[in-house]
Amino acid sequence: MIHAQVQGKLLQLIAENNIQKIAILCDEKVGQLYPEYFFFLNDVAEIHYISIEALEKNKDIESVTYCWNFLLQQQFSRNSLLICWGGGTISDIGGIVAATYKRGMMLVNIPTTLLAMIDAAHGGKNGINLQYQKNVIGTFYLPNDVLIDTTFLQTLPKKELLNGFAELIKYALIGNSTLWNEMQSLTKINHKTIKKEWIDDAISFKTTLVQEDLYDYGVRQILNFGHTFGHAIERLFAEKKRTISHGYAVAIGICYEVLMSNKRGLLPLKDADSILLFIFRFYKNIKFSDSDLDAISNYCFDDKKSTNNTPKFIMLEKIGKAIF
């Protein structure tokens, strides 16, 4: 059953823009779990579904091309609407498709994972991978709207909740010490322990930064906290033909950047220790070999945020305040 507010906003957008055709790009698992979610649209527009297996390996140009061809064959126009219904993989692929198909079509994100609700579906950053490098091909293209329905969290596996929880930890550490303090009482992660106001706080914080720095040249870069190491870890796993979730890699990446913050004389040791202890309450530490650590270090130089072959890291000055 669709959330009434989501349904109302979607119908209003369709009516105001006289939308005749809608493509719903969906995670095939979500489509199977909620087969009747969009049935109310059948009476207002011509509906087509594009179903994709939402795996990291499918965040590539082949998936984007598949969507382009579908839209072209079904004669979609710039005034048509693309709805991205799934997690971050879906909004990344769909964002690039919407930004580039006929130089831009209407876009609405309806995120179904915690990670997408608090981060990936917002801000207009869309990316696909190339040669194991994360999001190295992408666009900036803001959706017309992002509609949040937290009922999807009830059917989300625990590993996916943990995938998104790492981003919530990130938001608390870089800009919301109150949120950090509230989360300290958590002993387990499930759809009941993740509060809706935490999600709203993360969205509000990111929205403020995006409005100030859409193209990621300034203050928005603090959102990359934990990601320089995190993306390097993801690349290492991909090249070894192993899998690791984005959130798990970011959680470990946060640990490294917390330690760097302390080593540079910024973050007090007691705060660094408390952060690592909290993260390892929910995520297992990863033991890397010396060669793995060398590879991770080298991959940081390839990070898309690097300039003049110099990697960039976000440091913590204190819990709730990040600096360049």
Q: In the numeric block, which tokens belong to residue 165?
A: 């929880």
pLDDT tens, position by position, 30-63: 999 999 999 999 999 999 999 999 999 999 999 9
pLDDT tens, position by position, 187-200: 999 999 999 999 99
Q: Does residue 128 contact residue 63 with C-beta atoms inside 8 Å?
A: yes
**Residue 311, pLDDT score:** 87
The closest of 151, 180, 158, 159 to 168, measured between CA atoms, is 180
**Residue 132, pLDDT score:** 87
CA 183 to chain centre: 20
What is 157-323's CATH superfamily?
Dehydroquinate synthase-like - alpha domain (1.20.1090.10)
300 Cβ contact list (under 8 Å, min separation 6): 228, 229, 232, 306, 311
pLDDT tens, position by position, 68-125: 999 999 999 999 999 999 999 999 999 999 999 999 999 999 999 999 999 999 999 9
**Within a 10 A sphere around the Cβ of 295, how many other Cβ atoms?**
18
The closest of 49, 21, 22 to 35, measured between CA atoms, is 49
pLDDT tens, position by position, 135-188: 999 999 999 999 999 999 999 999 999 999 999 999 999 999 999 999 999 999
Q: In the numeric block, which tokens belong to residue 84?
A: 């991205």
Q: In the numeric block, which tokens belong to residue 88?
A: 């971050």
At residue 1, does pLDDT exceed 70? Answer: no
Mean pLDDT of the chain: 95
**Within a 10 A sphere around the Cβ of 181, how many other Cβ atoms?**
12
- Between CA 241 and CA 250, with CA 246 as vertex, the angle to 5 degrees is 115
The torsion angles phi and psi of 209, rounded to 5 degrees, stand at: -70, -40
Annotate 50-82 with b (16+ C-beta within 10 A) or e (fewer): bbbebebebbeeebbebbbebbeeeebeeebbb
pLDDT tens, position by position, 211-254: 999 999 999 999 999 999 999 999 999 999 999 999 999 999 99
**Residue 281, pLDDT score:** 97
Distance separating alpha carbons of residues 59 and 135, to the nearest angstrom? 8
3-state secondary structure of 316: strand
Q: In the numeric block, which tokens belong to residue 136?
A: 């190295």
Q: DSSP 3-state helix, strand, coil percentages of the chain (rounded to 5)?
A: 55, 15, 30
Q: In the numeric block, which tokens belong to residue 74?
A: 């079904």
Distance separating alpha carbons of residues 90 and 289, to the nearest angstrom? 33
Of 4 and 64, which is predicted with more confidence? 64
**Residue 298, pLDDT score:** 93
**Residue 4, pLDDT score:** 85
Q: In the numeric block, which tokens belong to residue 193?
A: 């322990």
Residue with tokens 């507010």: 5
Distance separating alpha carbons of residues 273 and 231, to the nearest angstrom? 23
What is the Cα Rg of the chain in Å? Answer: 20
Distance separating alpha carbons of residues 268 and 126, to the nearest angstrom? 35
Q: What is the pTM of this model?
A: 0.94
**DSSP assignments along 42-67, one per residue:** GGTSEEEEEEE---GGG-SHHHHHHH
Q: Does residue 93 contact residue 25 with C-beta atoms inside 8 Å?
A: yes
CATH of 4-154, one of 3.40.640.10, 3.30.1360.70, 2.60.120.10, 3.40.50.1970: 3.40.50.1970
Q: In the numeric block, which tokens belong to residue 118?
A: 């608090």
At residue 2, does pLDDT exceed 80? Answer: no
Domain ranges of the chain: 4-154, 157-323
Q: What percent of the chain has pLDDT over 90?
A: 93
